[in-house]
């Protein structure tokens, strides 16, 4: 909320800003999205994948029931996808291991499913989808500050 005081010729304008709680007791819930991986034959654009969808993988919720890795080949006898969208909620814990050879050989990269459509580029010939992966946020490092070399003076501004 912004409040403005009266503006008179001999006073300056003042603004008071009231902060809202940055850690509300009921955080907004994440919108439920289906678990899907869509591979395209075109290259990634600035925001979206280009080309035609050549492989669509749809999994049922909850993601934990798909904890056994499943390999999917790009169709077309050695076909190649150059862009993909991996969409799921964070609590589904889904990831796709991306391979540059069919039958999930020659590991190339790892894609984590997120609740928004975002282009993931690369030469993809197969992928292995696993859900129910538990992510852990590591604790902060709490490293000491940098030490100045001998004879150096700390800048004060």
Question: Does any domain span residue 56?
Answer: yes
What is the pLDDT confidence band of residue 10, given thresholds at 50, 70 and 90?
A: low
**DSSP labels, 38-56:** EEESSPB-SSSB-S-EEEE
**Is 94 part of a structural domain of the chain?**
yes
| Structure-model confidence comparison of residues 145 and 97, the more confident one | 97
Range 80-106 average pLDDT: 96
Residue 112 maps to a domain = yes
Domain range holding 44? 35-130
Per the structure block, which two tokens stand in for 147? Answer: 């030490």
| Domain CATH for 126 | 2.60.20
For residue 97, tell me if it sits in a domain: yes
Average pLDDT (31-42) is 93
Question: What tokens were used for 102?
Answer: 């069919």
Q: Is residue 157, in this structure, part of any structural domain at all? A: no
Q: What are the tokens at 39?
A: 């591979």
Question: Does the pLDDT at position 20 exceed 70?
Answer: no
In-domain check, residue 90? yes
Within the chain, strands assigned E span 2-4, 15-17, 35-40, 53-59, 70-73, 81-87, 95-101, 105-112, 120-124, 126-130
Give the pLDDT confidence score for residue 57 in this predicted structure: 96
Query: Which tens digits make up the pLDDT trace of 38-77?
Result: 999 998 888 899 999 999 999 999 988 999 999 999 998 7
Residue 4 lies in a domain: no
Cis peptide before 62 (omega within 30 of 0): yes
Q: Provide the whole-model pTM.
A: 0.69
pLDDT band at residue 3 under the 50/70/90 scheme: very low
Q: Is residue 153 part of a domain?
A: no
pLDDT value of position 108: 96
Number of domains in the chain: 1
Q: Is 103 left (phi over 0), alpha (psi -120 to 50) or beta?
A: left
Can you give the pLDDT at residue 141? 76
> At residue 108, what are phi and psi to the nearest 5 degrees?
-120, -40
Q: Determine the pLDDT at residue 47.
A: 83
Mean pLDDT score across all residues of the chain? 84
């Amino acid at each position: 909320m912004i409040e403005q005081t009266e503006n008179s010729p001999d006073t300056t304008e003042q603004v008071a800003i009231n902060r809202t709680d940055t850690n509300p007791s009921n955080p907004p819930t994440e919108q439920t999205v289906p678990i899907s991986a869509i591979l395209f034959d075109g290259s990634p654009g600035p925001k979206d994948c280009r080309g035609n969808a050549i492989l669509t993988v749809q999994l049922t919720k909850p993601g934990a029931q798909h904890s056994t890795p499943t390999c999917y080949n790009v169709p077309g006898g050695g076909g190649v996808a150059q862009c993909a969208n991996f969409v799921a909620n964070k609590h589904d814990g889904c990831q796709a291991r991306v391979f540059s050879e069919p039958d999930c050989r020659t590991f190339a990269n790892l894609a984590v499913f997120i609740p928004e459509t975002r282009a993931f580029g690369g030469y993809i010939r197969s992928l292995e989808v696993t859900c129910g992966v538990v992510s852990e946020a590591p604790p902060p490092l709490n490293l000491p500050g940098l030490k100045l070399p001998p004879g150096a003076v700390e800048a004060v501004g």
